[in-house]
Chains A and B, each alone.
Chain A
C-alpha cells in the first residue's frame, strides 16, 4: 500500500482524513512492514465504509486487515440508529459469528505425547469435518427455531455441555433478540445436517501446547500454565449463516436506493437499522449468532467425548468463546457521552478491557480473553482486552493472520501429502479428508500471525498473554 495516502499518527496508527463521500476518518492499526504489505483494496474498502450513513467516530482496520467483501476483513465500524445508522450483511460476513473457543485440558504436553495419535484419530472420527460431512443431530423445524433462539444455552439444555460453559461464552451463550421467523426455510434446510460440524477452509479443531507466557498475572487469571495442552475450535454458523448472508446481501443491494443509500460497491449493501429490512436482518443475524454458538457448543461436547475415549478422567473446561464476524449493540463513550451503538466487527474480535461488566466475573479483572487463530503448523495467541482499546477501536482487536497468497498459488506451491509428512516430522499431526484442502491451507499461505499480534499489542488494542503451538490439527 502507498503510505503517502496516510497521515502517520504514531508508529502504529495510520489516519486518512475525510475526503469526498467519507463522513468520518479512517484509521488503520499496523506497523510499517504490515502497512506496506497490505492490499490497496483495504484503503478503498475502509474509506468506503467511512462514507456509510450514521457511522460514528471512525472506520477502523486491524493489523490483519485484507481485501474483504464491501468491508475489509479486519474492519470495525459503529453506527448510531438514531442518526440513520445502517447495518450491512457484508459488514458481518457470510459466516455469521465465526469464532474461536479454547478449552483447557488440565494435561501437560508430556502426558499427551504418547497419546497424541490416538487423540487426533478420536477427534477426527468424532467431529464431522469437511465438505460432504454430516452432523449427528438432525433438527425438526420447532427444534431448529428453539436452537436459533437459545444458542449454546439450548445446546446445554439438550445435554451438550455444562452451565459453566455458558458463563465463559459471549452473551452467556445466548444472543438476545434473535428472530427465527426472519430466517428463511432455505437457510434452515441448509442447516438440517450441519449441526455440530466443523466445515472446511480455514476452520479447524486443534490440539495446542502453551509454548510461551508473556503476562503471568493474566495467564494465571485465565488458568493458562506453560506446557499445558489446550484445544481450540474455529468455526461458525455453517450453512444457515451462509444462506442468511446470501439472501440479505441481495435484499439490501436492491433496497439501498429506496433508502437513498448510494453504494460505491454493491457488496457494501446495507439498510438503515430502523428500516424493515435492517430489523429483519438484525433478527436473522442474531439467530445466526445463536446457531454458531450452539454449533461450537456441540463440537465442544464431541471433543470431550473423543478425549474421554482416550483419557477417561480428562476434564475439559472452557476458557472462553469469542466471535469475530458480528454486529452487536454495545455501549461506548464517544465525545465524552455514552451511546448505544451497533458495532460491526468483520474479521475482528471484541476485546473488552478489565472491569467490563460483560466479561465473566472470574476473568473480569484481567480483561476479556482475545483468541487469535493461526493456521495449521503456525502458532495461535491468547491476548487480553485493554482499557485503551475502548478509545482506539470500540474495544476491538485482530482475529488471525489473514492469507498471504491465494488458494491457487498455494496449490501450485505445495502438495497436501508432502505437507502432512513435513508437519508430522515437526511433531504436528494433520487429519483431513482432503489433501487438496490441506495444500490450500498450507501454513506458508498465511501471513505471519506473530507480526499481526505484535502490532495489536504495540498499538494497545490487546495485550499479549500466551502463545500456543499446534500438536495436532483436524481440518475440514
Chain B
C-alpha cells in the first residue's frame, strides 16, 4: 500500500491529515472523558512538518504503525510510540519502570520487527505499557530502553493486545528530505 515511501511522503505533504478541522469542530470529537477517544487522533493533529511524528495506517484486519524522524533510531522510537497508541493513549502512561532491550538482525527492516517484537514480549510478560523510548543502532545491532508502568485496566482502557509485529508493509527507508521512516503492520 505505502511500499513506495517517497511517493507516499509526497502525497502526504499534498494531503495533510485532517485532524485540525476535527479539533475546531468539537462535535466531531468524542467527549474528552470518553474512554473510546484515542490518542492517535490527537497526535495526528500535529503539523505534518514536525521533525518527528508517528501515525497509524490502514490494514483491513489489523493496523499499521509508522514512525518518522531525522534519524533511524528516532524513527524506531516513533514507531514504538505508534505501537503503544494501538493499545492506549501514550500520554496516559507514566514512565516509572525501565526495561533494557538488545536486538540483532541482518538488516534494518528485520531489526525494526525485532525491536517491536521485543517490546511486545516485555509488555506481555511484565504486564507493562511503555510511553518513552531510547534507541541506539550500530550496524545490525540495537540497544534500547523503554520506560512505562504496569497496566491499569480502568485507567488505560487497553483496546487490544498485540500478538506480533509482522513483515507486512515492513519498510525502513529514508525520505527525500533525509528523514527516516520505519513502519510495519502489527497483528492484534
Contact = CB atoms under 8 A, between A and B. Distances in A.
A132 B151 contact: yes
B167 A249 contact: yes
B181 to A, nearest CB: 17
Given A239-B124, A436-B157, A250 B168 contact: no
A193 B87 CA distance: 20
A66 interface: yes
A415 B36 contact: yes
B167 A416 contact: no
Most buried by A among B40, B56, B166: B166
A274 interface: no
Contacts of A245: 163-164
Nearest to B128: A132
Main SS class of interface, B? loop
Contacts of B121: 186, 190, 243
Contacts of A193: 127
B82 to A, nearest CB: 12
Interface string B47-84: 00000000010111111000000000000000000000
Contacts of A435: 34-36, 157
Interface in B126-184: 127, 151-153, 157-161, 163-168, 170
B113 A201 contact: no
A356 interface: no
Interface string A237-278: 001001101100110011000000000011101000000000
Contacts of A242: 120, 163-164, 187
B167 A434 contact: no
A417 B34 contact: yes
Given A132-B153, A242-B163, A434-B158, A189 B58 contact: no
A233 interface: no
A463 to B, nearest CB: 27
A132 B40 contact: no
B166 A267 contact: yes
B42 interface: no
B30 interface: yes
B166 A406 contact: no
Contacts of B125: 189-190, 192, 239
B188 interface: yes
Given A190-B121, A253-B110, A406-B58, A439 B163 contact: no
Given A192-B125, A439-B159, 11 more contacts: A90-B167, A132-B153, A250-B110, A266-B109, A267-B167, A411-B36, A412-B41, A433-B153, A435-B34, A436-B36, A476-B160
Q: Give 4 nearest A-B pairs by CB, closest first.
A: A132-B151, A131-B158, A436-B159, A131-B161
27 contacts: A68-B61, A70-B168, A94-B163, A94-B166, A132-B127, A239-B125, A249-B167, A253-B110, A254-B106, A266-B167, A266-B170, A406-B63, A407-B63, A408-B56, A408-B63, A414-B36, A415-B36, A417-B36, A433-B153, A434-B35, A435-B36, A436-B88, A436-B158, A436-B159, A437-B157, A440-B159, A476-B160
Interface of B: 30, 34-36, 38, 40-41, 56, 58-63, 86-88, 105-106, 109-110, 113-114, 117, 120-121, 124-125, 127, 151-153, 157-161, 163-168, 170, 185, 187-188
